[in-house]
Amino acid sequence: MKTQSSIEESDHRSDENGRRNFLKICSVVLTSLIGIAYAIPLIRAFISPAMQDTVTGASGLFDIGNINDCEVNVPRKVSIKGAKMDAWNKFPPTALGAVWMVMDKDKKFTVFSSICPHLGCGVDWDEASGRFVCPCHESYFNIKGSVLSGPSPRKLDTLETEIKQGKLFVKYQKMKLGISEKIPV
């Protein structure tokens, strides 16, 4: 009698264990399925700005002024103004950045982005020493944009220009920082 009942009990127990294992597997699988089903749209929404142009308008040709206003070898700072789309907002023309325009004695124009290629501070022209200087980490550049000293990994970024009807236009774009090559962002 006694053995009979204990056999039954252990049968019953292994049945129970089998059932519980099945429930465990089902629970884990179903929970994972919900998790995956929910994670997909959430992740898509989260990464969507990385796959879209969220800030636009800061490209194209910008009018930076009359070529006759320039003096030979005196860099002139001009701010770039444009209407900007920023995610949901459309802003009326505002400053997007600045450039330095330089005219050499052959009346050839070079336009530098005012952003230091090192870490993105605004480069200034030092009248006294005749050099461009970055106020943050003391990178120095000559009037042709080449590095004289300091941590900048490359020369000042030149931007494409175009002269139309006596006006200088520049294709304003931002470059990747901190690397030795000039690559647009």
CB within 8 Å of 71: residues ≥ 6 apart: 103
Where do we find the tokens 């009990």? 9
- Out of 6, 17, 27, 66, point to the residue binding another protein (CB under 8 A): 27
> Which among 162, 174, 74, 60 is positioned nearest to 114, based on CA atoms?
174
Q: Which two tokens stand for residue 139?
A: 């990178």
Give the three-class secondary structure for 132: strand
- Out of 2, 71, 92, 128, point to the residue binding another protein (CB under 8 A): 92
Residue 46 found at the interface with another protein (CB under 8 A): yes
- Out of 6, 14, 17, 31, point to the residue binding another protein (CB under 8 A): 31
107 backbone φψ class: left, alpha, beta (φ>0; ψ -120 to 50): left
- Out of 1, 36, 37, 128, point to the residue binding another protein (CB under 8 A): 37
- Out of 38, 60, 61, 179, point to the residue binding another protein (CB under 8 A): 38
Give the three-class secondary structure for 61: strand
Q: Which two tokens stand for residue 102?
A: 């330089």
Using CB under 8 A as the binding rule, the residues of this chain from 4 to 23 that contact another protein are 20, 23
Q: Which stretches of the chain bind another protein, using CB under 8 A?
A: 20, 23-24, 26-27, 30-31, 33-34, 37-38, 40-42, 44-49, 51-52, 85, 87-92
